[in-house]
Amino acid sequence: NLVGMGSPYLDFDCGFVPYLPVAGPIGMISQSGANLVAAIGSSEAMHLGMSFFVGLGNKADVDFSEFILYGKEDKYTKCLATYIEGLDSPEAFISACRDTVPHKPVVAIKVGGSKIGIKAAFAHTASENEGTDDAHYDKIFDKAGVIRATTWQEFLDIALALGTQPPLKGDNIVMITNGGGSGLLSCDHFERMGMPMKELNEISPMLGFKIRAYMPMFGSPLNPVDISGTANATQYKGAITQAIRDANVDALYVSICPTAMTSIEEITDEIMEVYNTHKHLGKPFVMECQGGNECYDAIRKFRDAGVPAYPTAEQGVNALIALRKYARIKEKFSKQK
């Protein structure tokens, strides 16, 4: 009862799937064949890159722990993403994850916790969840150093960020946008999720003055930094360069909103140039582009270049929060080794 396995790097497809995923950093391990095929479809459509995939089904022979340890050693895999209906051996899972998370992040989505879901999971993959609840699995994931996603979209989004960006070592996030509304959605979601944004002058007293040179007089050099709907590629490049070079800034979150005066393609190219020039600094860089086809083209282009990019503010914020969580997990479990 499984969908098989494959790897685009090895040109290996031994599965009940129509095509291999786009090559990338995520090793996906799933008990659900349907959701695994859906993820591979997302890989093709939105360039969610995978290093390998494996469907475990009812785990008649191999288990999560074995493939997690495989992913730990696999040079193409930078993040392990696990879809779990039940754990027959929580101890083995915890042990494998604790060995892995000092080196690579592990993400999990656990299903089958509702009253009906318990029965459905047992019928689907013989996963036994009687007597357990979300709190029970929260404890397992906490002990294992695993980052838990609560929705399928979040699962895919944070796996992408964790697989492409370094851990976020501090809370000094600067957001640069040409749309005030996107900035408001983002700062509210950061606070809602327990990681409120800081004022720009609190992060770096002079940064606002430096960025001011790249925005019109009616722009807002606060945080989020609103360089206005008239912003062009040169202004984006200048503002981002000032922020990413500032020693007090821990991460960049950049948003593009299409306007009549905005060339998404030109801005995308300039942002990627800044990113490639400065990625040696080890600062997480996350993109958001809200709009139509031009934004989805930009998102795919960013992802191909190793920059996690998303179509909504909440997705981008969740990605940065996951990177902050992993920094704490990595530090904690590295000390325990």
The gap from C-alpha 75 to its chain's centroid, in whole angstroms, comes to 19
- Cα torsion 334, 154, 188, 191 to 10°: value is -30
| 158 lies in the same domain as 193 | no
Answer with the one of 115, 132, 164 that is the final residue of a domain: 164
**Residue 187: what pLDDT?**
96
Distance CA 41, CA 38 (A): 5
- Helix (H) / strand (E) element for 158: namely helix 152-164
Tokens of 299: 């998102």
| 145 lies in the same domain as 233 | no
| 191 lies in the same domain as 314 | yes
| 141 lies in the same domain as 189 | no
**Residue 58: what pLDDT?**
80
List CB contacts of 218: < 8 A, sequence separation 6 or more: 228
| 147 lies in the same domain as 180 | no
| 331 lies in the same domain as 208 | yes
Low-confidence ranges of the chain (pLDDT < 50): none
| 205 lies in the same domain as 272 | yes
| 185 lies in the same domain as 146 | no
How many residues comprise the chain? 337
**DSSP output for 80-97:** EEEEES--S-HHHHHHHH
- Helix (H) / strand (E) element for 52: namely strand 50-55
Answer with the one of 124, 146, 164 that is the final residue of a domain: 164
Please answer whether residues 161 and 323 qualify as being in contact, where contact means their C-beta atoms are separated by less than 8 angstroms: yes
**Residue 119: what pLDDT?**
66
User: What would the 3-class secondary structure string for 93-154 be?
Assistant: HHHHHHHHCCCCCEEEEECCCCHHHHHHHHHHHCCCCCCCCHHHHHHHHHHHCCEEECCHHH
Q: Please name every residue paired with 14 in a beta bridge, in sequence order, or none if there are none.
A: 5
CA dist 21 to 6, 7, 113, 279, Å? 9, 8, 29, 26
| 71 lies in the same domain as 110 | yes
| 184 lies in the same domain as 110 | no
Please write the tens of the pLDDT for every residue from 11-67.
999 988 888 999 999 999 999 989 999 999 999 999 999 999 999 988 878 899 999
The number of domains in the chain is 2
**Residue 238: what pLDDT?**
97
Question: Hey, CA dihedral for 262, 264, 266, 269, is it positive or negative?
Answer: positive
Distance CA 176, CA 233 (A): 13
Residue span of the structural domain in which 74 resides: 4-164
| 232 lies in the same domain as 311 | yes
Tell me the whole-structure pTM to 2 decimals. Answer: 0.94
Average pLDDT over the chain reads: 93
Distance CA 162, CA 24 (A): 12
**DSSP output for 6-34:** EETTTTEEEESSSSPPPEEEEEEEES-HH
Please write the tens of the pLDDT for every residue from 168-211.
999 999 999 999 899 999 999 999 999 999 999 999 999 999 99
| Burial label, 150 (beta-carbon count in 10 A; 0-12, 13-18, 19+) | exposed
Tokens of 117: 């879901």
| 179 lies in the same domain as 228 | yes
CATH number of the domain bearing residue 251: 3.40.50.261
**Residue 16: what pLDDT?**
82
**Residue 101: what pLDDT?**
99
Answer with the one of 164, 199, 225 that is the final residue of a domain: 164
**Residue 130: what pLDDT?**
54
Distance CA 59, CA 126 (A): 9
